Amino acid sequence: MNRLRLAKLLIFPAALIPLASLGWKALHDGLGANPIEVITHSTGDWTLILILTTLSITPLRRITRQYWLIGLRRMIGLFAFFYGTLHFLTYIWLDKFFDLHEVWKDVGKRPFITVGFSAFVLLMPLAITSTQGWIRRLGGKNWQRLHRLIYATGVLAVIHYLWLVKADKRKPLEYGFVLSLLLLYRVVMPALETHRKLAVPTATPASSRATSA
Ligand code: HEM
C-alpha cells in the first residue's frame, strides 16, 4: 500500500473522533449543564483546526519534500466543511429551532455571527468544486484561483473567534498567529521563487564569460 492510501486510511477515522466523542458524551450524560454550548464550541474549534491543517499542507509538502501530501488536502478540507456544517446546524437547530427569521436577524446584527456566516458561505463553493470533474470544468488555473478563498475563510474564522470571546483572547490569538505564519509563507515563497528565477539568467552569462576567459 502506498503512503498516501495509508495516510488516508488513518486520517479518515481520526477526523471522526471529535464527532464520536460528542456522541459518546451525549449518550452518557457527559455534555454538562450546557450541552449546546459544548457542541457549538467543539464543532467550531474543529472547523478552525481543520481549515488551518488544510492550509498547512502546501508549506509542509514543500519543506519536507513529501509531495504526495497534497493528496490529503481535499479530504481534510472536506472534513473542515463537514464540521462547519455541524457547527452551523447546531446553531440553527439546537440554538434557534430553525427560526430562520431569527437566524437572519442574528447574521445582520451580531458582527461575530456575520463573519462566521461569511466564513461558512465561502467554504461552500470550495466543497462543491472539490471533485476532479469540477477541476476539469473550471480549468486548473481558475480552480486554483477559486480555492484561494480558503485563506479568506481562515481570516474570517479567526475574526469570528476573536470577536465572540469576551475575556481571555489567548486561544483565538494563537490560531491567528498560526494563520499569519501560513499567509506569510504564501506571500514570501512566490517572491523568493521569482527572485531565484530572475537571478539565474544574470548568473549564466557571468559564468560563461568566466569560462570563456
Ligand atoms: C468556517 C466557519 C466557522 C468557524 C471556523 C467557526 C469557528 C468557531 C469557533 C472556533 C468558536 C469558538 C469555540 C470555542 O470557544 O472553543 C465558535 C463559536 C461559535 N460560533 Fe462559529 N464558526 C464558524 C461559523 C459559524 C456560523 C456560520 C455560525 C452561525 C451562523 C457560528 C456561530 C457560532 C456561535 C453561536 C458560537 C458560540 C458563541 C459563544 O459561545 O458565545 N459560527 N465558532
Q: What is the 3-state secondary structure (H, E, C) of the chain?
A: CCHHHHHHHHHHHHHCHHHHHHHHHHHCCCCCCCHHHHHHHHHHHHHHHHHHHHHHHHHHHHHHCCHHHHHHHHHHHHHHHHHHHHHHHHHHHHHCCCCHHHHHHHHHHCHHHHHHHHHHHHHHHHHHCCCHHHHHHHCHHHHHHHHCHHHHHHHHHHHHHHHHCCCCCHHHHHHHHHHHHHHHHHHHHHHHHHHHHHHHHHHHHHHHHHHHC
pTM of the model: 0.91
Give the distance from CA 188 to its chain's centroid: 20
- Residue 200's pLDDT band (cuts 50, 70, 90): confident
Q: Over 70: is that where the pLDDT of 10 sits?
A: yes
Does residue 42 line the site of ligand 1, with CB under 6 A?
no
Q: How far is the CA of 177 from the centre of ligand 1 (A)?
A: 18
Q: Over 50: is that where the pLDDT of 3 sits?
A: yes
Rounded CA-CA distance 138/71 in Å is 19
- Residue 212's pLDDT band (cuts 50, 70, 90): very low
Does residue 119 line the site of ligand 1, with CB under 6 A?
yes
How distant, in Å, are the alpha carbons of 28, 76, 114, 167 from that of 172? 30, 21, 17, 11
Does residue 150 line the site of ligand 1, with CB under 6 A?
no
Q: What is the arithmetic mean of pLDDT over 36-48?
A: 97
Q: Over 80: is that where the pLDDT of 172 sits?
A: yes
By most ligand atoms within 8 Å of CB, the mutation choice from 114, 164, 178 for ligand 1 is: 164
By most ligand atoms within 8 Å of CB, the mutation choice from 47, 55, 169 for ligand 1 is: 47
Q: How far is the CA of 115 from the centre of ligand 1 (A)?
A: 10
CA atoms within 13 A on the CB side of 134: 13
Does residue 175 line the site of ligand 1, with CB under 6 A?
no
Q: What is the arithmetic mean of pLDDT over 62-70?
A: 94
Q: Over 90: is that where the pLDDT of 74 sits?
A: yes
The average confidence (pLDDT) of the chain is 92
By most ligand atoms within 8 Å of CB, the mutation choice from 39, 41, 118 for ligand 1 is: 41
Nearest CA to ligand 1 atom 9: 44
| Residue in 104, 15, 84 with CA at minimum distance from that of residue 44 | 84
- Residue 91's pLDDT band (cuts 50, 70, 90): very high
Rounded CA-CA distance 54/106 in Å is 29
Q: How far is the CA of 36 from the centre of ligand 1 (A)?
A: 12
C-alpha cell at 85: 456544517
